Amino acid sequence: MWVYEKKLQYPVRVSKCDPRMAKLLIEQYGGADGELAAALRYMNQRYTIPDKIIGLLTDISTEEFAHLEMIATMVYKLTKDATVEQLKEAGMAPYYVNHDRALFYENAGGVPFTATYIQAKGDPIADLYEDIAAEEKARATYQWLIDMTDDVDIQDGLKFLREREVVHSLRFREAVEILKDEQGKKTVF
């Protein structure tokens, strides 16, 4: 059961209208290594993971949905005052034609979200290594997004998200070690 607080996990501030940055941020909204893919991957994997790790996957999945909400807020704030001309200049004309300013799950190149982004092998250790890789790819993407903007307010929110990816990666690494320890123990009935 979840309890939803009607506030963002971390405040999202934007200094200026910047549809070019919004177009790039869409990568973390609907891209292969974005927040939606991570949230769905972890929520799905929890059904075939040992009981000791279920809570971890549920917690991180839920937090990924909170990150999705932050990205959506950033994109909205970066585009809400943009003119159609500014959207065109930012390369968002196709997006605008299809969705206006509504958020849509796609990557920065305009490729729609697909369930093929959600990996699940059914082997707990393989799945956790996949999760570590996903968190590290998201961390790298956040760093590159930070590099693409001079808006210190956007950088602040992206730095928060980048650091949460590091924490998630560490937690998944700990989970791998817990499962490896369990594998080496004899089961006596």
Catalytic residue numbers read 35, 64, 67, 135, 165, 168
131, 168, 162, 106: CA torsion to nearest 10: 40
Distance of alpha carbon 45 from the chain centroid:
16
What does the buried/exposed string (b/e) look like for 152-182 if buried means 16 or more CB atoms within 10 Å of the residue's CB? ebbbebbebbbebbeebbebbeebbeebeee
The CA distances from residue 189 to 160, 186, in Å, are: 47, 10
Residue 81 CB coordination number (10 Å):
11
With CA atoms as reference, report the closest residue to 52 among 184, 186, 182.
Answer: 182
CA dist., res. 150 & res. 173, Å (int): 33
Residue 92 Ramachandran class (φ > 0 left, ψ -120 to 50 alpha, else beta):
alpha
> What's the rounded Cα separation, in Å, for the pair 75 and 23?
8
CB atoms within 10 A of CB 37: 26
